[in-house]
Amino acid sequence: MAEEKKEDGKAKKPLNVALIIKGLMIFLNVSVLLGGSYLVYAATLGWSKPSITEELEIEKLKVKLREDSPPLIYTMDKFTVNLDGEPKRAIQVEVNLQMLSAEGFEEVMAPDRIARARDKILRILNEKDFSELETLQGKLFLKDRIAMEVNSVLNRGVVKDVFFSNFVIQ
């Protein structure tokens, strides 16, 4: 009874399920391996070194910036702002923006641009605590943050550097 007889008298072999599953798993693993290999190959086939590098961009900026021309510095009105944290302190800062080009200097002088730039600087100063600004590193971070925020307001102009001509915390 273990063997079933067919009509022609030959015995029918039982299906070996383990062998079928093993074959399917091997096929699946090989398929995934080949597919992954193809994707890696296809992704790296078209790779080329980027044509724009930081060194090229710095050289372009140096060409734009004429060494013989005087620096273009825009002096903003003084800021007097309350600092965050306890005890309450106030800061009085006069910010000077060194612009990269005359075009940027004219843009930063526009009333709508300077109003947005002043607002961003006020927000930055309001978020700062005395402990963040008392060190030299804190002042340098503040200069970088001010330059970044003012550059976000400008379309054509670029702030090259930020100077503090007056920096008093009380």
> Which pLDDT tens digit goes with each residue over 8-55?
656 667 778 888 899 999 999 999 999 999 888 888 876 667 677 777
Residue 28 confidence (pLDDT)? 95
Sequence letter at residue 98: Q
The answer to whether residue 128 sits within a structural domain is yes
The answer to whether residue 59 sits within a structural domain is no
73 and 114 in a single domain? The answer is: yes
The answer to whether residue 52 sits within a structural domain is no
Q: Which domain range does residue 77 map to?
A: 66-169
Residue 1 confidence (pLDDT)? 47
Look up the CATH number of the domain holding residue 99.
Answer: 3.30.479.30
The answer to whether residue 123 sits within a structural domain is yes
80 and 136 in a single domain? The answer is: yes
Q: Are 88 and 94 in contact (CB under 8 A)?
A: no
40 and 91 in a single domain? The answer is: no
164 and 90 in a single domain? The answer is: yes
* 3 state SS of 74: strand
99 and 24 in a single domain? The answer is: no
Report whether pLDDT(94) > 90: yes
The answer to whether residue 4 sits within a structural domain is no
109 and 34 in a single domain? The answer is: no
Q: Which residues pair with 161 in a beta bridge?
A: 98
The answer to whether residue 22 sits within a structural domain is yes
CA torsion angle 41 45 51 55 (round to 10): 40
Measured CA to CA, the distance from residue 108 to residue 99 in angstroms comes to 9
Task: Give the count of domains, the chain.
Answer: 2
Q: Are 157 and 104 in contact (CB under 8 A)?
A: yes
The answer to whether residue 106 sits within a structural domain is yes
Mean pLDDT of the chain: 84
Instruction: DSSP letter for 70, please.
Output: P
Picking from 120, 164, 158, the residue whose alpha carbon sits closest to that of residue 138 is 164
Q: Which range is most confident: 24-28, 75-79, 86-90, 101-105? A: 24-28
